Structure 1
Amino acid sequence: MTQSDSDYAFRLAQMRSGTAGLALTESVQERLLAARIVVLGTEVNDDTANRITGQLLLLDAENPNEDITFYINSPGGSVPSGFAIYDTMQLVQPDIITVAMGMAASMGQFLLCAGAPGKRFALPHTRVMMHQPSSGISGTASDIAIQAELFGKWKREIAAITAERTGQSIERIIADGERDRWFTPEEAKEYGIIDHVLTPETQIRK
């Protein structure tokens, strides 16, 4: 791991612990929403999923024909919360433009590559990280068996969707995700996670 990747790994730990993140005031969020911009700037959890899914549904109801831009700076988080956002992205009629900034790791990476084909971007110094979801399974033996089965299904679903979105094989997605796999924007583009590196010379294609 390079020094740059080590720095991002440290920031990942910070964001998961709640000591870092993108905090937006309510007035800023309202103005961004008026511009059809949705921002994920923290860990993926029930609260962020409820907010983002609600915003996507609102913008869909207001104008189903205009794209929505979804900025992502996240260390990842809850699998079911992430799937709630993913499914809503697929449900609404507008194309979802995804733009990674800072870091898109784990479920953040999954949501990044779930954007509309040809409309997935990353800023030049972003780092993207892919890995298999972690379970955190605990409880009685029966509970562990039930949770393990559910977790296995989630793992297969994430791998299948990521393979479809990137053009990679499911086998490669699973193998590459066994350990934290870090990408520069150029590497993420080559892998199929994004379509474009966003620079001052490029424009978001709507």
Structure 2
Amino acid sequence: MQKNKLLKLLQDNLNAHKSFKIKQEDDSQATIYLYEAIGWLGIEAEDFAKDLSQINSKEIHLRINSPGGDVFDARAMQTAIAQHPAKVIAHIDGVAASAATYLALAADEVHMAEGAFFMIHKGWTLNIGNADDFREQANFLDKIDQSIANDYHKRTNKPLDEIIELMASETWFTADEAKEHGFIDEVFENVSTQNRFNLSAYQHVPEQLQNQQSDFQKYRQHLERRLRLAL
């Protein structure tokens, strides 16, 4: 069941309005817009790292609205951010879910919009094989979860067992809750960014994001009907 939901998530998000672009006005400041999935036919780590390395500004604003994605792409992107000589300020404009949270926490400062959400959970995978293969994969997932939990622990100073429990529960934090738990530094005034992603593979998506998603899907269906009439 989870496998089918994950595959549906990937397929549906191919049609979502996405964006990855970099705007560098001068040597003092640049902005990266990561309104995109990570890996999984979204922005790949190699492309991100190459583009990031071309920025020579002293300060980078990383604007995030992402449903997450591939853990290893996210890890590589996280490393690229952490090693860049510029001061990096992450701004969570809409959703930072799953792997997108690692990118945010790699920044020197993390700011989050009122109405945005920050979600952590335990790792997922797709696997084919026998019982031994699945046991090996489960052990590997445990190692991934421990690595992720260590990063969250360093950021928040929360005990590792508490972090693991929050991940196991698929916890969605509001901006105020994310700040209270130590994941972010500041909350800024709400912006107009909306959820454009299908988050149905997750179990505890907040109602606010479900409503935004439903409205967007209705609008897309309306446009598709109009297009068919035009043809």
- Give yes or no for contact 1:14–1:20 (8 Å, CA) kept in 2: no
Q: Describe how 1:20-169 pairs up with structure 2 within 5 A.
A: 20-23=16-19, 29=21, 32-34=23-25, 35-45=29-39, 48=43, 49-59=45-55, 62-63=56-57, 66-116=58-108, 119-169=109-159
- Give yes or no for contact 1:44–1:78 (8 Å, CA) kept in 2: yes
What letter is aligned with 1:197? V
Query: How far 1:15 sits from its partner (Å)?
Result: 7.7
- Give yes or no for contact 2:79–2:106 (8 Å, CA) kept in 1: no
What is the alpha-carbon distance in structure 2 between the residues aligned to residue 55 and residue 166 of structure 1? 30
Query: How far 1:73 sits from its partner (Å)?
Result: 0.4
Which one is further off, 181-190 or 48-57? 48-57
Q: 1:184 aligns with which of 170, 174, 182?
A: 174
Count of paired positions: 177
What letter is aligned with 1:68? I
What is the alpha-carbon distance in structure 1 between the residues aligned to residue 167 and residue 67 of structure 2? 15
What letter is aligned with 2:52? L
What is the alpha-carbon distance in structure 1 between the residues aligned to residue 70 and residue 155 of structure 2? 20
What is the alpha-carbon distance in structure 1 between the residues aligned to residue 9 and residue 187 of structure 2? 26
What is the alpha-carbon distance in structure 2 between the residues aligned to residue 152 and residue 69 of structure 1? 33
Residues 15 and 183 of structure 1, relative CA distance in 2, 3 Å threshold: farther
What is the alpha-carbon distance in structure 2 between the residues aligned to residue 138 and residue 184 of structure 1? 36
TM-score (norm 1): 0.76
Query: How far 1:16 sits from its partner (Å)?
Result: 6.9
- Give yes or no for contact 1:78–1:107 (8 Å, CA) kept in 2: yes
Matched with 2:210 is none
Residues 16 and 194 of structure 1, relative CA distance in 2, 3 Å threshold: farther
What letter is aligned with 2:17? G
Residues 153-176 of structure 1, C-alpha deviation per residue, up to 9 Å, x if partnerless?
Answer: 211111001110122121111001
What is the alpha-carbon distance in structure 1 between the residues aligned to residue 66 and residue 148 of structure 2? 17
Q: Which has the larger strand fraction?
A: 2
What is the alpha-carbon distance in structure 2 between the residues aligned to residue 112 and residue 51 of structure 1? 18
- Give yes or no for contact 1:114–1:165 (8 Å, CA) kept in 2: no
Gaps of 5+ in 1: 1-12, 201-206
What is the alpha-carbon distance in structure 1 between the residues aligned to residue 54 and residue 189 of structure 2? 30
- Give yes or no for contact 1:67–1:95 (8 Å, CA) kept in 2: yes
What is the alpha-carbon distance in structure 1 between the residues aligned to residue 85 and residue 131 of structure 2? 43
- Give yes or no for contact 1:73–1:101 (8 Å, CA) kept in 2: yes
Secondary structure class of the residue paired with 2:19 = coil
Secondary structure class of the residue paired with 1:36 = strand
